[in-house]
Amino acid sequence: MTAKTILITGAGSGIGRALATEAARHGHRLILVGRRSGPLEQTAQALGGDPLILPADVTTAEGRARIVGAIAKTGLDILINNAGMVPAGQIEAMDDAAIADTLALNIAAPLALTRDLLAPLSASKGQVVNMGSVFGDIGFPFFTLYSASKFALRGMSDALRRELAPRGVAVTYIAPRATRTDAADGFHTLVGPMAMTLDTPQAVAAHAWRAIAARKREQLPASRERLFVILQRLRPGLIDRALIRLARDPAVIAAARETTS
């Protein structure tokens, strides 16, 4: 791609910072969005150049209005909805606040921000990129709330792709497997018992960028999880049996209790 103006939410750490690094390496102009200015400034320092730092809470109308105001001056080619949280543990431990906060950040915010930035994206015939998860295809035990939010994000991506295609706006859904970020610290007790493999944010970002540059409809991980997603879509009973066995494992149950304690 030629140089584009790219806005990344959750750009202060993890996959967001790695995506910003990858975009900067390709010569794109960056707008870094996050709740706290400190982590955004750290990302900017690591990038060099002169990215726009924009502290804003995407779950609030005020935060999104600040973003819209900035975009009115810069224009926008690519919106990357990356900000999110990864709640884990037994469902009975998820209180109303945890449910509301997760859905607000993981699904309501990207939907609302995409709506609010649709005019500049349509003007540039731009692209919306939604950072999902393999758990948006495979409903994982002890990640029920997270899976619910990513299933919703995948459905939103499909619907938006079809609605915005006549305007020339592409929609790309990225589904990485578990990634070694600060968010993963919240479910670290489950990693061993569930035999989870975690990728680095840099590997996820480099793989994702190929799909973003090609304006693909979706991208699955280049790993065994790709096969699991295909099996989920074609033979869900096989995945059911495997994950029910996992949910019955005493070590997994103990780890889930510790995660939510």
Query: Tens of pLDDT along 202-257?
Result: 999 999 999 999 999 999 988 888 889 999 999 999 999 999 999 999 999 999 99
Q: Is 65 helix (H, G, I), strand (E, B) or coil?
A: helix
> Cβ neighbours of residue 258 under 8 Å, at least 6 residues apart?
189
pLDDT level of residue 190 (50, 70, 90 thresholds): very high
Closest C-alpha among 68, 69, 168, 166 to residue 123: 168
CATH 3.90.1170.50 fits 5-183+198-223, yes or no: no
Q: Could you state, in order of their start, the residue ranges of all structural domains in the chain?
A: 5-183+198-223
User: pTM to 2 decimals?
Assistant: 0.94
> Cβ neighbours of residue 219 under 8 Å, at least 6 residues apart?
172, 173, 174, 175, 207, 208, 210, 211
Enumerate the active-site residues: 146
The DSSP line for 82-110 is: -------S-GGG--HHHHHHHHIIIIIHH
Residue 260 pLDDT > 90 = no
Query: Tens of pLDDT along 28-52?
Result: 999 999 999 999 999 999 998 789 9
